[in-house]
Chain A
Amino acid sequence: MSEMSFEIDEDGERGIQARILGNRPRTQAAVFDDYFLMLNLGLAAGYQTSKDNCGESRVFYQPNSPPGAYTKSWNSIIGLVIVNSLREEAIDFENKEEMNSEIQKLIGEDLEEPFTDDFWEAINGYARTGAKIILDMDSDKMQWEEFLHFSYLAVIDELQEEKHKNLPFKIE
């Protein structure tokens, strides 16, 4: 089991399958897998969900060859995990020591395995949040594009809007 993975029970799996149908883009499956969709939702929501809250029972959502499959977005994802984790921990971005200390929790000094367990727990926590959000959506099955247009992008926008209202920092 990859570090970049989490488990969800069968009801959750069926729930997600029940909401999306149609052909998905297959040329770069990595960015279109369900994990990627959920992770974006979780990062937009800005909070992690622990295992206990997700009813984990078995391996389900796991990207192909993580994180290599996410080459184009990987640095964005690292940045978003760091910035959302700092925000969640209420780190004062002005305090260099606090910020460095929190960053060192997520990124280690080992050149071979630079990301810490805390990092993987954080990224999987955001993906779990995304899974829960999908399960809260309407269960009318839609074509892939319809799902993106009417549910996914709209929900992400709503989440971002909500999160940015309460940001402890101002984004210029």
Chain B
Amino acid sequence: MNNWESKGLASPDTEIELNASDERKITFIQMPNGHGKTTTFNLLEFAFDPRSIDEIVHVQFDPEPTPLKAWIRGLQCKTTPKNEGEFVVRGTFDSQNFIIKLQFDLELGTVIKSYTIGGQTDLPITGLPSNFRQLLRSGVTDFMMLDGERAKSFLDHKKGTADEAVSTIHRTDILVELALQLDSYKDERMVELGNISGRSRELGMAQKKFNEATKLYDERKGQQDSIDAVISFLEQSLVDKTQEKDAFGSISDAKTREIEAQTNLMDQNNTSRIAEQTKQLDLMISSVCSISPKFGDELIYLKSQLERNKLPESAGKEWFFELAELDECVCGRPLEATHKTNVRNLASNYLSGNHQNILNNVKNHIREGVKPSDTTDRDALVQYVSKGIDFYSTFDEARTQRRNLIEEAATISGNKAQYEAIVLEISELETKIENAVGQKENLSGGSGNPKSVEYAKTKLNEAKVNLSGYKDAYELVEKHKILNRLLGMLHRDVKEEICQKVTDETNEVCSGILGSDDMEIESIESSLNLVGSEEKRVGGSVGQTMVLAYSFIQVLNRQSGIDIPLVIDSPCGPLDDEHRKEVAELLWSLKSRNIIIFVINTEREDFVDRIIELADDEKREQEVQYFTQFKRNDKTENHFTGTTDNAFLSKDKTFFLDFTTTGELEATGE
């Protein structure tokens, strides 16, 4: 920040030229109370507010949040009120000059904020270079503007932004910003990819479709490459089969039928001949004597013996038994028991009627049919059996003949089957050729033909693009997850480590100033959490709190690489003499950056004096600037000799050190 200029506002219409060189300086701006010191302080803070005007509903300047319109209207100068006012801040950032201009309509309570940077004028905040915009967004004013309230806010966990301050000053919020940018990038890329899913399941399905499309295309292409060869092969096969068919000539069924008739006739003849043979043989051997002529001799001998023994014609045995039962003989003499026993014994030598009957049947049979062996017709049986043997030999020939006929018929039948099979094959080949020609036409068709190679190619390309999209989406989502997790971990770890470092160094600085551990920080969260009881955690005196805040700011300043001035409003008001000197020494040690200190004349003692001492000791008097400014009123009138200006500005050190306003304490605050 090189200068600021105020016109038509409650602050003096002056232009404060700070330090145009690279040399670091402490700039005192001495203003009496009620001459716009706090207004200037607030205007600077408002100028560096990173939000657009539309976003600002309330300003957070103390003591309470104030509606923007009311605050703007309150900027109007009471003594010489104007409807319009302007506040301009000029500076250099990253080797580029910038201007922040605030144009107020004090009547309507509106403001237009414009930026000029790098030669580009009237830029809205959204048109700023990203690094400059980033600087504003980093909450730079939190570390640039410091007053008692802000110092206290470091200890208030409700208002506190201590951890944010650490994050901002150490740029760890870059990691958060990076994560947000990563989210934005991911969202944008996902939109570009058509908002398709980045899940593995969808990727898997896309891969499957791609594989299927590849397979289809490969099949079609393969078919197309080989279809001519297939057609050629089929056509050659057709020629071969046709020749094979022609070689068969005509196949007649007549021969087969003739053979069947012959075999049937043979079967009938053989069957009837066997039947006849069997019948004749049956008749011939129906008598056992035909089988063995000597059986006849034995039977004839039996018959002769039976007849020679003169057996009773009939019932001989029964007659004797009846006789044995009689009391007297047929001659009239009585029969004794011994006689009866003799008769019964005698009777047992005779055969009964039943014996006689069977034996007579046997005898009659022998008499009528049985011949002696030398007269039997045994030779007839033997001859007939021989005839049968002959018959079977001829029968075997017939069977051989029949078998040959059947084989011949089978050959003809087989040939016929073969012929028919060839005819069928020819028919099938013709159909195959027709199909192959049709397939060839289909394969060569355009992309509109679902059976064409072109169609498969189109589908493959679609699937490829589709898969590529899903792959990209999947990779994007996965990478985003990993990076997000890494950034989160990194941010947490870095923040933790830095906070600890800031805590340690702040405690060292603070205890060095206060000479005690009364304001020792335990941890940094939303606020600086102090070690000790609940009561102690609220903080010490205003002076102690300011020391802690300066210590904190100093540490942040030391650790940060951000080159921004420190603007302090009334640093010593609440401090006692001893602490004033210590704060002066602290601020002198902070002089690695520009420090702008708003003071009133009563703050000079022990504070400004001590800084002058330090500058003198180190022969660096030129590094301290002294501004005194105030507005025209009854108390300051004697300083406006012959001018019509309503504001006074002096850069003189002596004037600064001697300046007093007798009515300063009574001046009405604006």
Query: A residues within 8 Å of B by Cβ?
Result: 22-28, 31-32, 40, 43-44, 72-73, 75-80, 82-84, 93, 96-97, 99-101, 103-104, 107-111, 114, 143-146, 148-149, 153, 156-157, 160, 164, 169, 171-172
Contact = CB atoms under 8 A, between A and B. Distances in A.
A164 B294 contact: yes
B246 interface: no
A156 B292 CA distance: 7
B299 interface: yes
B389 A143 contact: yes
A156 B288 CA distance: 11
B351 A169 contact: no
A171 to B, nearest CB: 4
User: Chain B interface mostly helix, strand, loop or mixed?
Assistant: helix
Given A27-B279, A76-B370, A104 B285 contact: no
Interface stretch (B39-47, B129-137, B356-364): B356-364
Interface of B: 274, 278-279, 281-282, 285-289, 291-292, 294-295, 297-305, 309-311, 348-352, 354-355, 358-359, 361-362, 364-366, 370, 381-382, 385-386, 388-389, 391-392
Given A75-B365, A93-B305, A96-B309, 16 more contacts: A27-B278, A43-B292, A75-B361, A75-B362, A79-B303, A100-B350, A104-B351, A107-B358, A114-B358, A145-B386, A145-B391, A156-B291, A156-B292, A160-B295, A171-B297, A171-B300
A43 to B, nearest CB: 7
A171 B288 contact: no
24 contacts: A23-B274, A24-B278, A25-B281, A25-B282, A27-B278, A40-B291, A72-B287, A73-B287, A73-B288, A75-B364, A76-B299, A76-B365, A79-B365, A79-B366, A83-B302, A96-B309, A100-B350, A103-B359, A145-B388, A145-B392, A153-B291, A169-B305, A171-B301, A172-B304
Given A40-B292, A153-B385, A160-B294, A83 B358 contact: no
A97 B370 CA distance: 27
Contacts of B281: 25, 145
What are the 3 tightest A-B residue pairs by CB atom distance, in nearest-first order? A145-B388, A75-B365, A25-B278
Contact of A143 (B298, B311, B392): B392
A34 to B, nearest CB: 14
B355 A107 contact: yes
A31 B287 CA distance: 9
A83 B301 contact: yes
B358 A78 contact: yes
A111 B386 CA distance: 44
A79 B288 CA distance: 11
